[in-house]
Chains A and B, each alone.
Chain A
């Protein structure tokens, strides 16, 4: 039989006729007690030792108890002082006796409360008497203290003090009791047989060490077995936020489809957010409470004057020989008001106007996946800030079929098929479509976006004389469709649950 060296040592130190404690085995083998315990459990599993457990009680004096060992118990000191003062004959004033005894503070009370109880005499009306027959040398408590003076956590069985006295000492706070579990091992018959047959020491190692490798020792050692099925402690590495992952995937898809990315201000003038989109200034969405206007600063410094003129004319008179404008007022100051953008179409108007990257010649494709802000009611599916996937294609002669085809291609990349188009109205696109997709698991029809062909009243002032088709949709909606999240607030914002973020399945 082969066993690791530590187990062999423990086996050899143990006996078949007597139980040996872990501490004794540790002393005999010169191994740490934990190691001995570990080895015993391994040996028990092998059927080589029987391990028994018992609870040992030990006692030790408290600091107060130790003090009395040297100074004597307060009641004994009081008795001795009383004898000196002649209280065995006549009562003596208590103050005088206490003064003579040298007792102070709390010790006085302790002395007084134990004096009569233990028959040293009586205290009455401020006078003290002493019983001449009392014998301090026979005081059980005092003797017990002396007996325990050297015992430090001695097993309760090993001290020569009766249990009644131990209890009274404990009550007086002079003694502490401790319970501890003691494991003892006894060799089994099988162990005796194996020992007689001879047990070899097997070299096993836990950790592969540099020494082990460089010395060449690794060739002869045996590696201790691990419980390879046990769960390890949880490890939390970093993850890219799930909504960012989805945004990255959208960006990759659109770049693959030939789109360039746009970037631009979150705080922008209404001119870029709404007026350039041919949104009348008295449109409910512009005065509506769902817009976040800025309190400070309030207005943009400058707008391109030519463009402002053209936009104003389009609003008032329309575009083309048959065009009509809105029967609504138009005011440049209103257009200069700053707000948090309610859609990233403000980026599209900036790019289409030539303001960002110069005049654009068709064909062009542009996109952005950026935040927009709406003063909507916060609930599980609506946030005040969310990501809009904005995109547009500029080319000669685009049709609604091209728009539909682009969407089908884009959404199929996310497993969303059977796109449906519901004719819709937007002030800045015509024709316009709301997009609906079928949820891959629930089969439910879900609105996934809004799209259309930009109106000429929007494009002409921007200086674009070909077609532009465009769309915007909420990234969060796509994410919820893909992952089935129920409350978007769990992942987006400061109410997020770290555990959810740590454990979310990655997307690719």
Chain B
């Protein structure tokens, strides 16, 4: 689960509750679903968060939620931004893969060290969550005073002229341009560097560039943002050093690019709310696409119609409409009583723009429940009558397991994942051999380690591995497992035939074929099936002491004395006799 670091002093400051102790804060945070995991080196709380409330990825958002929880704030609060001065012009050359951009200007920010750190963390956490590691949305924050916006008209003149991009004079509305550029075109000095590089250089030579190279390396043209002075941002990879934000910065330009307009708009809203909470003034930005224009940030609210009846059923309690309205306001929502077309009591619930998790009226009910306190609800056993029962396969498995234990076997439970070497090589078997246990492997794309690269095709390898690891334990070691095995089978819908196998090994100084056969016969008798053991050849077992297990006429397994080659391979110094067959055969 992801974590967010919150400085408790900042939290006290932003909530206006200097009197709260660390313990009290932690308790209130737990109520919000933010679990205290420990402290960072600087003494900040490390909080684990569920990835729905992405408006709580920094101290500002957490403080806002706590103010609602403490009752200091109620209802929906939307900041009013000033009218746009700046424009982002989207050029035709922008890569098709990353067509969207959004932005806002934020003025009069008081950025001390803590605030700057918080802003950086918010960016990182948004990148990791909504931004899908910058693939879906990437944030760039710039010092506005370092930007030199030019007029859009002169920019288009410039396109056709010989002058390098970005050198035109400013007049009219200050404008920056979102464009697509040649990988080896213009140069800029990226953050954490002191030399000019082309975007292609950045992907190769800059540490951050290498990290995010995969996001754009397939693009024909790379995304870039220009002002009068030239390229200053290479989204989603890195910003230029010229516009780097510091504690001295007072006015900021926030831009975001991505593959989905809604996603970057919401990320922008969350950043704007966080800066606004620190007393900054928001200012809109005009985004001019080739065929349409939008104004951002989008701080519009939305509404959901929630039925009173549904609230009562989900929470399992009766509520007055006034209670519902109160719960909504304490959740940072606003509810208005209305009557539906069918004459039922419903609420028009207003959702603030920073909420990204409210997809359905049910999500509002969850908020109301949290405000009410889910733990204050009295549990009750549901008055629903049903009849229970086991799956037939599971009943059969239990019955066979009990018989095996009665026959003196220690019941084992091994992993379903195994390596090719263990499954085949060490038992002298090759994948695809026409013998029991040698099916084609269903393989794992990115295995945890070379020990777990496929699903085992039989359980015998696991049993021999347990014998190998327990040679220091007393004998006899009679082990059995009713376990899962699988192999590629094109006739199955999933392409994999799955089944349970009954495997058993007898390891002691006098273990022989007859010991295994005697137990197999006992099982056959118990389950009233007809058992035959015609001789067969199987490389795991000694020739002449190996038989097929034929149950009710079907060849379903193998029985024999394990070949000395296999025993030596497993460091065993006692004879082992064994059998394995399909559990289904006893059905």
Contact = CB atoms under 8 A, between A and B. Distances in A.
A323 B401 CA distance: 50
B473 A401 contact: no
Contacts of B366: 423, 430-432
A337 B368 CA distance: 38
A29 to B, nearest CB: 36
Interface in A407-439: 407-409, 420-425, 430-433
A323 B359 contact: yes
Contacts of B319: none
A24 interface: no
B486 interface: yes
Interface stretch (A96-104, A199-207, A257-265): A257-265
Contact of B388 (A267, A365, A401): A365
Contact count band on B:
35 or more
B417 interface: yes
A400 B416 contact: no
A378 interface: yes
Interface string B469-499: 1100110111110001010101001111010
Interface stretch (B172-180, B210-218, B439-447, B509-517): B439-447
B101 interface: no
Interface string A268-282: 110000000000001
Contacts of B455: 266-267, 340
Q: Which of B53, B388, B409 has the most CB of A within 10 A?
A: B388
Interface in B364-423: 365-366, 369-370, 374-375, 377-382, 384-391, 393-394, 398, 401-402, 404-417
A271 B50 CA distance: 24
Nearest to A290: B448
A363 B389 contact: no
A407 B447 CA distance: 35
**A237, A422, A423, A493: most-surrounded residue (chain B CB, <10 A):** A423
A101 to B, nearest CB: 52
Given A323-B359, A431-B314, A267 B398 contact: no
Nearest to B310: A397
B446 A375 contact: yes
B257 interface: no
A343 interface: no
B374 A421 contact: yes
A456 interface: yes
A503 to B, nearest CB: 11
Given A238-B404, A371-B416, A322 B263 contact: no
Interface stretch (A87-95, A138-146, A188-196, A297-305): A297-305
B389 A236 contact: no
Contacts of A498: 410, 466, 470, 473, 477, 479
Nearest to A325: B359
B462 interface: yes
Given A401-B377, A430-B362, A321 B305 contact: yes
Interface stretch (A8-16, A51-59, A159-167, A241-249): A241-249
Contact of A455 (B260, B360, B402, B493): B360
Contact of B33 (A284, A296, A322, A422): A422
B494 A338 contact: yes
Contacts of A401: 315-317, 377-380
B399 to A, nearest CB: 12
B494 A364 contact: no
A320 interface: yes
B275 to A, nearest CB: 23
B304 interface: yes
Given A292-B444, A492-B413, A502-B410, A263 B315 contact: no
Contacts of A248: 398
A322 B360 contact: yes
Given A234-B474, A400-B314, A401-B378, A294 B132 contact: no
A114 interface: no
Nearest to B409: A238
Contact of A400 (B304, B377, B391): B377
Contacts of B476: 236
B361 A320 contact: yes
A455 to B, nearest CB: 6
Contacts of A430: 360, 362-363, 365-366
Interface string B5-39: 00000000000000000000000001001010000
A496 interface: yes
A117 interface: no
Contacts of A365: 384, 386, 388
A320 B375 contact: no
A398 B313 CA distance: 7
A363 B384 contact: yes
A497 interface: yes
Nearest to B490: A297
A282 B132 contact: yes
B411 A294 contact: no
A108 B356 CA distance: 105
Nearest to A457: B360
B405 A239 contact: yes
Contact of A453 (B35, B314, B357, B493): B314
B71 interface: no
A238 B410 contact: yes
A261 B377 contact: no
A377 B187 CA distance: 43
Given A405-B382, A494-B415, A423 B443 contact: no
Contacts of B493: 300-302
A425 B33 contact: yes
Contacts of A481: none
B92 interface: no
B70 interface: no
A203 B132 CA distance: 91
Interface string A472-508: 0000000000000000000111111111011000000
Contact of A340 (B313, B357, B359, B444): B444
B279 interface: no
B136 A236 contact: no
Interface string B442-461: 11111110001001000000
A224 B70 CA distance: 84
14 contacts: A236-B474, A237-B405, A238-B411, A244-B413, A258-B386, A263-B394, A284-B132, A294-B442, A294-B444, A340-B455, A373-B416, A423-B33, A423-B374, A425-B357
Shortest 5 CB-CB distances between A and B: which pairs?
A399-B316, A297-B495, A404-B379, A425-B50, A401-B316
Given A267-B498, A296-B488, 11 more contacts: A238-B478, A244-B411, A251-B394, A259-B386, A260-B391, A267-B486, A297-B442, A327-B263, A397-B313, A425-B50, A494-B462
Interface of A: 234, 236-241, 243-244, 248, 251, 254-263, 265-269, 282, 284, 289, 292-297, 299-302, 318-328, 338, 340, 363-365, 371, 373, 375, 378, 383-385, 393, 395, 397-402, 404-409, 420-425, 430-433, 453, 455-457, 467, 491-499, 501-502
